[in-house]
Amino acid sequence: MPLDPALVKSQFKAVLTTDSAGAAVRELLNSVASIIDAEDLRKPLPLAPFVVLRAGNIGGDRDDVRPCVLTWWVYDDVPRRFSRINPILTAIQAAYRHYTFAIGKLTISNISQEIAEDAALDKRPSRSIQYTYTRRG
């Protein structure tokens, strides 16, 4: 079965939105509505704190092991700084540590430093955690 980017993204997002592994993240965010896709940044933002999923393209040839990069960005209000961001990032790591995809391997490829003013999003404080999902197909 060929690797479907939309399916990879939906399964990855479901870990935080519906799976028991993501319950601690949902509790820290106060609402599943605070878990959004990057495309939803054009709409009114959810209440802070919130997390944004950015999914990259799938690379490689069909017969090779193919990587797909998925990044969670965690944002909060300026006065809160990183007091809620850092615990949310830790909860995201824990959610994926205990989750197993049926096919493929998921690894953390990067965890950002604290970004005091993210110019791309109203100068909010943020951090990100990047995963690389790999599998054949």
Taking only the tens place, the pLDDT of each residue in 7-35 is: 888 999 999 999 999 999 999 998 899 99
> What average pLDDT does the segment 38-67 reach?
83
Report pLDDT for 57. 73
Domain containing 112: what range? 5-136
Q: Is 61 helix (H, G, I), strand (E, B) or coil?
A: coil
* Weakest mean pLDDT among 110-114, 123-127, 132-136: 132-136
Residue 64 has pLDDT above 80, yes or no: no
What is the CATH classification number for the domain harbouring 54? Answer: 3.30.2000
Q: Which residue's structure tokens are 């953390």?
A: 108
Report pLDDT for 22. 93
**Number of domains comprising the chain:** 1
Percent of residues in the chain assigned helix, strand, coil, to nearest 5:
35, 35, 30
